[in-house]
Chains A and B, each alone.
Chain A
Amino acid sequence: MNLQDIALGRLDWNALPILKAIENPTASELIGGGAAGVVIVGGLAVVILITWCGWWRPLWKDWLTSVDHKRIGIMYIVLSMIMLTRGVIEGALMRTQQAFGLDGGFLAPDHFAELFSTHGTIMIFFVAMPFVSGFINYIMPLQIGARDMSFPVMNQISLGLTAAGAALIMISLVIGQFSTGGWTAYPPYTGKVFNPGVGPDYWIWSVGIAGIGSTLSGINFAVTIYKERAPGMTLFRMPLFTWTVLCAAIILIFAMPPLTVATLMLAADRYLDFHFFTNDLGGNMMNYANLFWLFGHPEVYLLVLPAYGIFSEVIATFSGKRLYGYASLVYASLAISILSFTVWLHHFFTMGQGANVNIAFGIATMFIAVPTGVKVYDWMATMFRGRIRFSVPMLYATGFLILFVIGGLTGVILANPTIDYQVHNSVFLVAHFHNVLIPGVLFGLLAGYHYWFPKAFGFRLHEGWGFVAATLWIVGFAVTFFPLYVLGIMGLPRRSFSYQEAAFDPFTLVAMCGAGLILSALATLVIQLWVSVRGRDSLRVPVGDPWNGRTLEWATSSPPPEYNFAVLPQVTTRDEFAMSKANGTAFPTPDRFADITMPRNTALGMIMCIGGTLFGFALVWHIWWLALVALVTMLGSWVAGTFRTDRHRTIPAAQVAATHVAWLEQVATATPTTRDSEASSRNTGRAALDLPEISA
């Protein structure tokens, strides 16, 4: 073994796709090299911009080392937005390839395989999960009247590890290549014998490292909800979003370990010559499918439950009504989170087990549709006889209710093993899960983005562009994915880069046009953000309650102070803030203020992020010394942190009082806004009580 092998492992110049594109300029290689170029140029542009504006210091001090749950939440969402851009472009590229896929297309088969692998991995692990985590981080502590998470530093570490996983996927675009084994990475296809390259290793470490971060997040969310609720906030007074967060946290705690087990076993097979999933010597690759879906199925409910929570808040607020059937929504969420652990086999009905096993899981799968059905009726009943304002979040909610029911119905169809045998691994399945994930999860998240943006930044997003974006998302989704149902029944297998059946062509072309609409929806979101930031002076809502909100996050300023509430609220009822506005007891002036103790900033999360990235990268390329250094640094700095004794700082009561009194002044002088002028610049964030409080 020579020095270069020790120092750099199996890394060499051939790993750069840009060089390959220069050597062999086919369309496929040029796209790969171009993407790598975009990552490099984009990264450099960000660095130059930050240096030019002198933002390094504030970036480090106020953001990267902050343990404030609100800042961490925003960073999660920024991360997921960046990854969303890449994921959507990849999806559109795949639709384009299939549109031209009759007897060929322009992408090499391996490049197409890389695209569907990164697209799936990114969309699940680095878009949906961080987006959901971002909202949970920002909103949940505000909704329960807490100052921060139970474990603020661990919260920062979770973000660091998630970002490390995302960084590894971005690096795989520039150095080497990603897995071609799909987001599920089934062995033996991803095993060492079949694929000795770096691709599956990138998958293992990016998902594995981010997965540990997610487990820690789950623990943090659950403990925060159990232990940090404001006085009087009993479990059954919690806002529904917080309830769904609790259910999602339970899933994170118990469903991430199977993923950790599956990825580490696969790693042991690839690195240490184990035989968990190999073809020979007693390995059993079917156990991988089993372990992976023990995680994978609860995972989708972990994503969709918080989205249900967001829709519950949005629909209640914009209907001006108390949520209908609160208790049934709570019990439905709990039922879903438990049932989600009993259905994993429906992802591999065709693996070869007997009919008895299949039907047991088929029945369980059909059961899980029941609580979701309950929820849909609850949401409709909430709107019934409400004073509905058709705002952007409501547009997403409407799209969700209609489209999601279709997605759910196709799920019930797939739950029947006999039908599943027909459409298994066809694009019917692709249509189904996009039909639940886009209208279910993504629309929920975008509704939440629109709904809570003024809370986080103090100004609303532009409504007009929001309407355009929402319409484009809804129409674009339908045009892209409804043809895939037909294609699936016609027999197009999923993940096909090419096909020989001319009858597929019209449908793949329509789907490509839909992907174009989705791309423009994404572009519209960027335009909306740009327009809103430029015109923020006319969109400001400093009082903090632009939508006549019902729950505690609206009872503080926008953006809220670091400590959230000057004095922790006393909760007496469900929809506490709506009730206190109706009773005239909102915005009370506290008798006295106390010092507030908050955790100090720490660099631990950044150390974990950089260390985790280097650790994963070193393992992918077999640079053993670097892996060891990174691991020891991560663990060592964690231990060193426990020797610190100055981990808190105190904000003096006088400062809290000054900030709070100034805000109360703003509240008192602001002109209350009626619901009709909610979308105009007259909205100051102080809601006029022009609607009677209608209880359920």
Chain B
Amino acid sequence: MQHPPDFKKERRAYLVGFVIALGLTLLPFWAVAAPWASRSLIIWAIAVCAVIQILAQFRYFLHINLSRQKREDLQLILFATLIVIIMMAGTIWIMANLAMRMM
């Protein structure tokens, strides 16, 4: 029976993930509470922080990474992302186009 190595190392990884997520949450909230730039820039900052935080949570909490994975797991996630992007972007594009033409 082989024991998993190093509880402390794994706990540290969770803490790192938690701190990163915390930072990427505080930053956009702060930007909205006390705007330090134009609205469009802040919205971009919110989007970038959200994407990085999602990736960080995948990495540190869900343990998805590019190595040591069985490929089918990564394929599944990437495929789901592709489909969700097609559906969301398509919906917003079509509906925006329709709204524009009804003005």
Contacts and interface: CB of A to CB of B under 8 A. Distances in A.
Partners in one complex: yes
Contacts of A226: 72
A341 B87 contact: yes
Contacts of B87: 258, 294, 341
A287 B91 contact: yes
A217 B97 CA distance: 36
Contacts of A354: 97, 101
B57 to A, nearest CB: 22
Nearest to B102: A352
A352 B102 CA distance: 9
Nearest to B80: A254
B80 A290 contact: no
Interface in A340-357: 341-342, 344-345, 351-354, 356-357
Interface string A241-265: 0000000001000100010000000
Contacts of A351: 98
Contacts of A258: 87
B97 A290 contact: no
A313 B79 CA distance: 28
A284 interface: yes
Interface in A250-301: 250, 254, 258, 284, 286-287, 290-291, 294
A654 B87 CA distance: 54
Interface residues of A, number: 20
B86 interface: yes
Nearest to B70: A226
A244 B72 CA distance: 17
A572 to B, nearest CB: 23
Contacts of A294: 87, 90-91
Contacts of B101: 352-354
A290 B91 contact: yes
Contacts of B91: 287, 290-291, 294
Contacts of B95: 284, 286-287, 290
Contact of B98 (A291, A342, A352, A356): A352
B83 interface: yes
Interface string B68-97: 000010000001100100110011011101
Nearest to A298: B83
Nearest to A342: B86
Contact of B83 (A254, A286, A287, A353): A254
A300 B103 CA distance: 35
Contacts of B102: 352
A342 B80 CA distance: 14
Interface in B50-81: 72, 79-80
Instruction: Report whether over half of chain B's contact residues are helix, strand or loop; otherwise say mixed.
Output: helix
Contacts of A284: 95
B97 A344 contact: no
Contact of A286 (B72, B90, B93, B98): B98
B98 A353 contact: yes
Contacts of A357: 93-94, 97
B86 A345 contact: no
B55 to A, nearest CB: 21
A222 to B, nearest CB: 9
A17 B97 CA distance: 45
B74 to A, nearest CB: 13
A290 B86 contact: no
A473 B97 CA distance: 44
B77 to A, nearest CB: 13
Contacts of B72: 226
A344 B72 CA distance: 27
Contacts of A254: 80, 83
B97 A353 contact: yes
Nearest to B97: A353
Nearest to B73: A226
A40 B53 CA distance: 58
B83 A290 contact: no
A345 B94 contact: yes
A356 B93 CA distance: 11
Interface string A220-243: 000000100000000000000000
A352 B95 CA distance: 10
Contacts of A342: 86, 90
Contact of B86 (A287, A341, A353): A341
B97 to A, nearest CB: 5
B83 to A, nearest CB: 5
A420 to B, nearest CB: 16
Interface in A316-360: 341-342, 344-345, 351-354, 356-357
B79 A290 contact: no
B75 to A, nearest CB: 10
A265 B75 CA distance: 31
Given A226-B72, A254-B80, A254-B83, A344 B90 contact: yes
Nearest to A351: B98
Given A352-B102, A354-B101, A341 B94 contact: no
Contacts of A287: 91, 95
Contacts of B79: 250
Nearest to A287: B95
A341 B90 CA distance: 10
A135 B46 CA distance: 48
Nearest to A286: B98
A291 B79 CA distance: 20
Interface in A351-404: 351-354, 356-357
A286 B102 CA distance: 12
Contacts of B98: 286, 351-353
Top 3 A-B pairs, shortest CB-CB distance: A353-B97, A254-B83, A357-B97
Interface of A: 226, 250, 254, 258, 284, 286-287, 290-291, 294, 341-342, 344-345, 351-354, 356-357
12 contacts: A226-B72, A250-B79, A286-B95, A294-B90, A341-B86, A344-B90, A345-B94, A352-B102, A353-B97, A353-B98, A354-B101, A357-B93
